[in-house]
């Protein structure tokens, strides 16, 4: 089976796709792309959409972490990514959808907001990546990429404040699914691989880590993706972080 995965280093759905390929034991080559430039590069190699993860496998092109999960399951059913019991499958698919649609976007917004304030941490998210130029040079030219990424992801003050207000409820949902056995079972499933990288990315942000690392969601991320790359030192305003300390958001 010939497989090539197109990723942005440290992108959480890209890490989800990597983990699922590894779970299936499918060897693959990886192409690392820089944000923004990735959109042009993906079109140039024939993908219809502009986001990573994107996978070429056995002549077909699959884009999107959830679509990749299904294609991998079709091509190589064992070990499974989805439970065979219909009710359990519905629960895993709902958690997976939540991970994709509700958990991924706030993590992206918070990270790009932080990088927009201070670009230095960006380098730590690309450690070990092969982006076709020395990392040091890429970082010197990163300003327009950061500005565009923050704009594309609507990483503005208002959205990030709202993300932080909602984060405790999102984490609680993950904890509840772990308690119910939908996530974090002996056999990891597509929802574990979808959700754990978003939690892992959040824990690279030092302001968020204390509210996450000691709860079940944090333990799941440490189990599934123990070596998540990147580190963002404290940068978020203290009053925006109040909801994570169990306090109401300041007006
Ligand atoms: N929900 C989609 C999200 C894909 C997505 O938005 N990926 C981001 C990286 S995390 C991307 O490709 N952004 C383009 C860019 O940064 O220029 C999935 O799970 O595949």
- CB 41, CB 33: distance < 8 Å: yes
Task: Output the CA 5–ligand 1 centroid distance in Å.
Answer: 13
Ligand 1 atom nearest to CA at 13: 19
Which atom of ligand 1 has the smallest separation from the CA of 101? Answer: 1
Question: How far is ligand 1, taken at its centre, from the CA of residue 242, in Å?
Answer: 29
pTM: predicted TM-score of the whole model, two decimal places: 0.96
Which pLDDT does position 250 carry in this prediction? 55
The pair of structure tokens assigned to 49 is 């959409």
121 phi and psi angles, rounded to 5 deg? -65, -15
On the question of pLDDT at 124 being above 70, the answer is yes
Query: How deeply is 165 buried, as exposed, middle or buried, from its count of CB atoms within 10 A (0-12, 13-18, 19+)?
Result: middle
Give the number of the atom of ligand 1 that is nearest the alpha carbon of residue 11. Answer: 10
Cβ atoms of 176 and 135 within 8 Å: the answer is no
CA nearest ligand 1 atom 19, residue? 65
CA 36 – ligand 1 centroid, Å: 10
Q: What is the pLDDT of residues 140-177, one digit of tens each?
A: 788 999 999 999 999 999 999 999 999 999 999 999 99
């Amino acid at each position: 089976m010939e497989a090539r995965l197109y990723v942005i280093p440290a992108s959480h759905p890209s890490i989800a796709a990597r983990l699922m390929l590894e779970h299936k034991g499918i060897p693959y080559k990886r192409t690392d792309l820089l944000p923004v430039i990735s959109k042009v590069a993906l079109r140039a190699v024939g993908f219809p959409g502009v986001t990573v993860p994107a996978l070429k496998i056995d002549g077909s092109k699959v884009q999107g972490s959830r679509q990749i999960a299904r294609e991998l399951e079709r091509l190589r059913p064992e070990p499974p990514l989805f439970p065979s019991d219909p009710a359990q499958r519905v629960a895993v698919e709902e958690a997976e959808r939540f991970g994709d649609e509700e958990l991924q976007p706030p993590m992206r917004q918070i990270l790009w907001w932080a990088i927009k304030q201070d670009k230095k941490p960006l380098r730590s998210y690309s450690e070990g990546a092969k982006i076709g130029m020395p990392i040091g040079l890429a970082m010197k030219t990163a300003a327009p990429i950061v500005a565009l990424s923050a704009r594309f992801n609507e990483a503005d003050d208002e959205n990030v404040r709202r993300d932080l207000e909602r984060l405790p409820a999102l984490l609680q949902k993950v904890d509840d699914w772990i308690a119910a056995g939908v996530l974090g079972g002996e056999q990891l499933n597509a929802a574990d691989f979808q959700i754990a990288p978003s939690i892992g990315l959040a824990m690279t942000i030092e302001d968020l880590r204390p509210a996450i690392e000691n709860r079940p969601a944090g333990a799941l991320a440490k189990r599934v993706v123990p070596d998540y790359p990147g580190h963002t030192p404290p940068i978020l305003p203290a009053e925006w972080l109040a909801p994570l300390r169990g306090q109401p958001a300041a007006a």
